[in-house]
Structure 1
Amino acid sequence: MLRCYAILLCTALLLPVMLFSQERKSVRTMADEAFERQEYAVAGALYNRIINKKRNKTPLDVLQRVARCCREIGLYEEAAFWYDKMQSRPECPAVTFLEYGEVLKSAGKYEDAKVQLAKFKSSKSDSMRLMHSMLAGCDSAIAWKSDRLEMAMENIKELSSPGSDYVSGVTRQGLLLVSNGYRKMTMNVLPERNPAIDTRTNQPYYKAYIFKQYSQGVANTFVEEVLPQLLALVPYHVGPVCFNPREDTVYVTLNSWQQDIANRKKRGPVNGERIMMVFWSVKTGDDWSPLQPLKEINSTGYSTGHVALSRDGQIMYFASNRKGGQGKMDIWFSEKQRNGKWGKPKNCGPYINTPFDEAFPTYNETDMLYFSSKGHPGMGGFDIFRVAGKGTEWKRLQNLRFPFNSGGDDLGFIMKANMYEGYFSSNRSGGGGSDDVYRFMDTHFSERFNNDEGIQPYKDPEPGTKPEPVILAKAPEEKPAETKREEPVVVSPMVPVSAPITTPSVAAKEPEKAPEKPVETKPEEPVVVSPMVPVSAPIAPPVVAAATPATPVEVAKNDPPPASTPRRGGPVAPPVATPAPVESAQEKQEEAMSDIDVAIQDKMEKMQFYYDYNSAILTTKSRNLLDRVAVVLNQYPDWKLMVRSYTDSRGSDAYNKDLSALRCYAVIDYLVKKGVPSSKLYYENIGKDPDDPCNKGVPCSEAQYMQSRRTMLKIIHK
């Protein structure tokens, strides 16, 4: 919670306050003052001192506050411990069960969370709506985790500091980041020894950075500050930075430091709150104009920030808690006028916004907005959503589901221009302790979600009825017309990256033994050990859309031909005389493959691409070979390619499955950049080579290990 509000830059104003006889204040007084200042780490330590002294006689409100401190900092297990203590008290307030369920959900304990949420009762409709929404989110999360999407995913450890690091946008030069952890690290400049500290989090203030590897493709990580000539001397938080399409105008979210202080108090340890505001600057030649508040967008006394522009730069989306919204932080928009100024802000409406927090808008595709929400049913914390439309007209709200979303806070979703590689941020369990940057690759991300009808409209249950489990978004593979098969498409398990609709995930320990009915097979071990570990693509049979059937050559005889599959739902025609079958042009082509075609296929399938230990980076020799592969695939439009990657016998099975997935995508990414359509590419991340003699305890040389660390190709004919 606190982490996200710190990201939103709603920072408490800590001005010097003359306090008499401070040394005589009780521990309780100091704890309460720190709590009011939102210094939750300090307050939590002081409240613990009270609890250690009073033990079973600790006042309930102290337990409530120490649980709140843990929850705001992100210590969900500790918060759950204190909520469990509270619920045994006869005077325990009802809201405890709601908050207890929330922290259990954030920790990914969905069944336990449902038990606590069901105990919550309230006469307030918003509170009951939140409770039912969280219950629906728990039901959905359980289903989504069992039917996870297939892709390669990794935590970018080089970009993950001990602090909070999150994705905010993109430019032609690279990926835009916001971090409070890089200031103590050596980047392109020397680290700051004593950076200014935000006392709420005991971390440095945020600054904006750019990750140059995003566009340059260099092997080393290169991060630098954004516009230090403008932002280096800002005294508080520097939040998300957004450039217009020409990159000659910049919009920056900053804490106000000279004016516009909200929630002022005449007396007490806290006398206001620095709200966040949007500032802007225009580039003339090589110089940027001084930062100025964007008057048309900011609202006096309310926070405004995190700007995202549409592709044409004519619509600005941003987050604000101003009046006229649905409640708390909402997504708003403004349209550019003919005179170049921004029009009056308008709320995006109840289809996007809820009585709870919506924030972190990003824009990746035309008329497609991404944002994070706590109000729409999700897996916990902020979930990432995708919605089609613009302004106030929206449709098809989609929760990106697992593994994009988790029990923690997930935000800042950015796609690269190739539309199959992207980034987002998360503080999910198993990460570096706060928000980390994750990278994913999914060659058919757009098709997958364009075929997804979106989450079902949520409705509160009728009074007096027992709510049934609600799955708000079925996985696309659950559509009967797409998934009903009498037998698997392939004998050996393979994972297609080109199928827009996937089957439920099936993890198999032994790739060479595929189950007859993979949808009914239970994985023997979880695909994701922890979100810190790159997410591998579980071995599952490819599902090929009817419009683009593709069956591997070596198993075609085990699968009925596409023509034998009856169309569903159509009228049944009366029997007529059937003429002799006529061979299609494609069938004739397959039967009449020339000797040259056979030789080319044979040569491609004998190619091997090797890697250094623990690496997924293609060597120069491999790239040269792939240049030739790309030429062939572009000359043979009916050929598809299966990319199979292996690792050597060292390391855990789970890690090697992830590493082999990244090696598959290294090849796929290179071929796509050479003009090969991604729809022609499949992959199979095998992990350890089952035929590697080193797996059986035989001593091996480094050259033998190198032979195992490889990628191979297989041509697939229609």
Structure 2
Amino acid sequence: MKKIITILTLTLSITGSAQLKKEIEKADNYFKRAFYSEAIPLYQEISKKDRSYEVLKNLGDSYYYTKNMGNAARVYNYIVKNYPDKVDDEYYFKYAHTLKAIDDYEEADKVIAQYYEKKDDQLKLKEFEVTKKYLENVRAIENRYTIANLGINTENSEFGAVKFRDKLVFSATKKETTLLDKLYKWDNQYYLDLYEAPLENLYSNDSVAYPLPGKINAKLHEAMATFTKDGNTIYFTRNNYAKGKRNKDNNEITHLQICKAQLVEGEWKNITPLPFNNEDYSAEHPALSDDEKTLYFASDMPGGYGSFDIYTVSINNDGSFGTPKNLGEKINTSGKEQFPFASADNKLYFSSDGHPGFGMLDIFVASVTPAGLSKPDNVGLPVNSGYDDFSFYIDADTKEGFFSSNRPGGQGSDDIYQIVETKPLIIEDCMQFISGTITDEKTNKPVPFASLALSSDKKNTIEKITADANGKFGFDVQCETTYTVIANKEGYTENQKTLYLKKERNKNNDASMPLKSMEQVEIEKARALEEQKAREEAARKKEQEKRANEAIAKENDIIKDRNRVVVKTDEINFDYDLWYLRRDSRKVLDKVITLMKKYPEMIIEIGTHTDIRGDEKYNLELSEKRATSVRTYFIENGIEPERISGVGYGETQPILHCETEESCTEEQHEINRRCEFVIKGF
């Protein structure tokens, strides 16, 4: 029986493995053909049983290419953390893109920084820090455009809008479909066609779009149109499809081609593929230069810098074409560059995920000059976002135009947005100001034409300026820097102030400071000398007084006892329970009276004490009576009342500590019943 169970278990295991392998092969086949929407549910089920790197990588990519960024981020996070030795470098950047798309820019920056640290690529790490600062500067421009979602948008894809006469021409999924129309397996939408809509009704929800007249739209994709100025020629993108046949490469992929057509009696006819198209790669997104002598386009042809690059091809006078040329590494990166647009003011706009951006495809602009193309800049907010932003078009005169984006908040998928440019693209570092007034320290009046020097912790150079006639000065400075301002002028001493600047654009930092005149310096020196002499004289007198007091103390048996200065005398004791002075005590008191008469500034406190016999209240009252008795004797013998005080301490300060009344002898109790003379001052 055990043998049968073992055989059944092994058979089921083999059968399950074979079934799983079959499911993976099916999903992989969809993935290779870019049928991502078909591949996703298969990979989701497979991943419950097989969490291998290849399965999860393809699942993450399928989410990524269908713009499901939340799920893509979750899967990429898993493979980056669990397959660090297998994961390709590109997935760190894909992961960062998905994080930006879900608005987690801080975590996205951490992912890229950790990747460069892992590679120990300090150069790239420094470049990344420069990129972060660049994007902060772009973000600081704030919104450069007003944007509005058009009424022609639907839950499906609309993009690539350009003006053509009194209409807007754009790309969209088929509006009217039949059972014969197929879905595009990439995202499970219908294939794209070219449409037109009246310009005056773009914002209304009942705006109606119509397919371009003629035979431009076929069974597969048509998109991204550009027109000659006379309106008679169109260039556009379509799948490699001719005579009802889809042409494929060795991987069963139908690539994109650029075609042109002529407007004949109101319809687009004579559709002709351009001669540089190829079945093995795509040529897409045509855009004409303002002089119509150059056609810009995107392609993944061999020999480029990344997956898609921007190319140009010359259009000869006879209508023939030159050889396509790559725009080079200034424009193209290891990522994607697509959707070129050439404006009438000699600017090239394009989308890229390889240049410093806010996530996925961002729109960039470079100036076209006789010397070549300038370094491209990010066009900024709110056109660019964490999602795909592309298909930029703008009228150089009116500053009005359109772009497309699949960002959240639209009608769905790709939407067309109308834009108006309201700010120029001026990218500046975070700057602040240091200003102030130089004044005279004594008079508080301005010091005109003082010399100022500015140094920082980031530069070895020192900037020097001169204050104006009102003592005012100012410097333009960078954020996150420590500066020291040094001020001086002939006839004054130098002064300086150090400021620690944080990241807060356009903040004004006050570096006002006073200068001290040399005349004031001399006055203060003389005053300081007088004060020093006074201190020395006071110290001399204090020392003399100390020595005199020491002599007095030595001569008159004045000692320091328990942090007190007391007159040392023979014992003065009181009879038990009495406060009257005994005859033997009066001789001792006469000695103290004589001392006070010898030193008429001496002030003394009489402190009287009891033993512990009796309760505390009674003893306190008894000691006060004894103090009063002694003080009265001093006053009767010529001592001024204000020079002599009496305090009764009761039993609180014994010389000999007695636990009980019986624990001390009568002689010991008598020692505690005493009178002391504390010198309080002279």
TM-score (norm. length: structure 1): 0.52
* Structure-2 residue corresponding to 1:51: 47
* Structure-2 residue corresponding to 1:65: 58
Structure 1 residue 278 and structure 2 residue 263: aligned? no
* Residue of 276, 294, 305 corresponding to 1:326: 305
Question: Conserved in 1, the CA contact under 8 Å of 2:295 and 2:313?
Answer: yes
Question: Conserved in 2, the CA contact under 8 Å of 1:101 and 1:117?
Answer: yes
* Structure-1 residue corresponding to 2:588: none
Task: Provide structure 1 residue ranges, at least 5 long, that are not aligned to the other structure.
Answer: 1-21, 185-190, 265-270, 453-472, 487-542, 544-718
Question: Conserved in 1, the CA contact under 8 Å of 2:351 and 2:363?
Answer: yes
Question: Aligned to 1:431, what secondary structure does the other structure show?
Answer: coil
The within-5 A match list for 1:204-353 is: 204-213=190-199, 222-232=207-217, 234-258=218-242, 261=247, 263-264=249-250, 271-286=251-266, 288-295=268-275, 297-299=276-278, 301-353=280-332
Q: How far apart in 2 are the matches of 1:30 and 1:307? A: 36
Question: Aligned to 1:159, what secondary structure does the other structure show?
Answer: coil
Residues 426 and 273 (structure 1), Cα distance of their counterparts in 2 relative to 1, 3 Å cut: same
Question: Aligned to 1:273, what secondary structure does the other structure show?
Answer: coil
Question: Conserved in 2, the CA contact under 8 Å of 1:304 and 1:320?
Answer: yes
Structure 1 residue identity aligned to 2:58:
R
Report Cα offsets for 1:388-420 as digits up to 9, x if no partner: 116881125221012111111111111246423
* Residue of 156, 176, 184 corresponding to 1:163: 156
More strand by share: 2
Q: How far apart in 1 are the matches of 2:363 and 2:101? A: 14
Residues 139 and 160 (structure 1), Cα distance of their counterparts in 2 relative to 1, 3 Å cut: farther
- What's the CA shift for 1:46? 1.2
- What's the CA shift for 1:83? 2.5
Structure 1 residue 110 and structure 2 residue 110: aligned? no
Structure 1 residue identity aligned to 2:78:
K
Question: Conserved in 1, the CA contact under 8 Å of 2:161 and 2:402?
Answer: no
Q: How far apart in 2 are the matches of 1:130 and 1:206? A: 40
Question: Conserved in 1, the CA contact under 8 Å of 2:53 and 2:83?
Answer: no
Report Cα offsets for 1:537-558 as digits up to 9, x if no partner: xxxxxx9xxxxxxxxxxxxxxx
- What's the CA shift for 1:371? 0.8
* Residue of 6, 31, 35 corresponding to 1:35: 31
Question: Aligned to 1:30, what secondary structure does the other structure show?
Answer: helix
* Residue of 174, 178, 186 corresponding to 1:200: 186
Question: Conserved in 2, the CA contact under 8 Å of 1:137 and 1:380?
Answer: no
Q: Number of matched residues? A: 416
Structure 1 residue 153 and structure 2 residue 137: aligned? no
- What's the CA shift for 1:102? 2.6
Question: Conserved in 2, the CA contact under 8 Å of 1:262 and 1:302?
Answer: no
Question: Conserved in 1, the CA contact under 8 Å of 2:33 and 2:252?
Answer: no
Question: Conserved in 2, the CA contact under 8 Å of 1:140 and 1:378?
Answer: no
Residues 104 and 307 (structure 1), Cα distance of their counterparts in 2 relative to 1, 3 Å cut: same
Question: Conserved in 2, the CA contact under 8 Å of 1:207 and 1:225?
Answer: no
- Identity fraction in percent: 27
- What's the CA shift for 1:201? 1.5
* Structure-1 residue corresponding to 2:345: 366
Residues 205 and 485 (structure 1), Cα distance of their counterparts in 2 relative to 1, 3 Å cut: farther
Structure 1 residue 76 and structure 2 residue 60: aligned? no
Q: How far apart in 1 are the matches of 2:297 and 2:397? A: 25
* Residue of 425, 428, 432 corresponding to 2:407: 428
The within-5 A match list for 1:503-652 is: none
Q: How far apart in 2 are the matches of 1:380 and 1:136? A: 17
Residues 282 and 154 (structure 1), Cα distance of their counterparts in 2 relative to 1, 3 Å cut: closer
Q: How far apart in 1 are the matches of 2:103 and 2:152? A: 25
- What's the CA shift for 1:44? 1.6
Residues 147 and 390 (structure 1), Cα distance of their counterparts in 2 relative to 1, 3 Å cut: closer
Structure 2 residue identity aligned to 1:117:
I
Report Cα offsets for 1:191-241 as digits up to 9, x if no partner: 657642112211100011123126x78967544345332124x12101212
Q: How far apart in 2 are the matches of 1:438 and 1:375? A: 23
- What's the CA shift for 1:128? 10
Structure 2 residue identity aligned to 1:276:
L
- What's the CA shift for 1:147? 4.2
Question: Conserved in 1, the CA contact under 8 Å of 2:20 and 2:46?
Answer: no
* Residue of 150, 164, 172 corresponding to 2:165: 172
When structure 1 is superposed on structure 2, of 65-74 and 334-343 the one drifting more is 334-343
Residues 244 and 176 (structure 1), Cα distance of their counterparts in 2 relative to 1, 3 Å cut: same
Question: Conserved in 2, the CA contact under 8 Å of 1:105 and 1:138?
Answer: no
Q: How far apart in 2 are the matches of 1:72 and 1:194? A: 26
- What's the CA shift for 1:285? 4.6
Report Cα offsets for 1:83-123 as digits up to 9, x if no partner: 23334426653434343223112323111011122232599
Structure 1 residue 183 and structure 2 residue 175: aligned? yes
Question: Conserved in 1, the CA contact under 8 Å of 2:116 and 2:124?
Answer: no
Question: Aligned to 1:102, what secondary structure does the other structure show?
Answer: helix
- What's the CA shift for 1:167? 2.3
Structure 2 residue identity aligned to 1:111:
E
Q: How far apart in 1 are the matches of 2:223 and 2:249? A: 21
Higher relative contact order (CA 8 A, sep 6+): 1
Report Cα offsets for 1:285-311 as digits up to 9, x if no partner: 55544312121x424522112111122
Structure 1 residue identity aligned to 2:82:
R
Q: How far apart in 2 are the matches of 1:178 and 1:129? A: 42
Question: Conserved in 1, the CA contact under 8 Å of 2:353 and 2:361?
Answer: yes
Q: How far apart in 1 are the matches of 2:339 and 2:70? A: 26
When structure 1 is superposed on structure 2, of 235-244 and 416-425 the one drifting more is 416-425
Q: How far apart in 2 are the matches of 1:193 and 1:362? A: 36
Question: Conserved in 1, the CA contact under 8 Å of 2:144 and 2:381?
Answer: no
- What's the CA shift for 1:323? 3.1
Residues 237 and 90 (structure 1), Cα distance of their counterparts in 2 relative to 1, 3 Å cut: closer
Structure 2 residue identity aligned to 1:48:
Q
Question: Conserved in 2, the CA contact under 8 Å of 1:347 and 1:392?
Answer: no
* Residue of 375, 399, 405 corresponding to 2:354: 375
Q: How far apart in 1 are the matches of 2:287 and 2:213? A: 21
Q: How far apart in 2 are the matches of 1:328 and 1:344? A: 20
- What's the CA shift for 1:336? 2.4
- What's the CA shift for 1:262? 5.3
Question: Aligned to 1:93, what secondary structure does the other structure show?
Answer: coil
RMSD across aligned positions (CA): 3.5
Q: How far apart in 2 are the matches of 1:388 and 1:177? A: 26
* Structure-1 residue corresponding to 2:428: 474
TM-score (norm. length: structure 2): 0.55
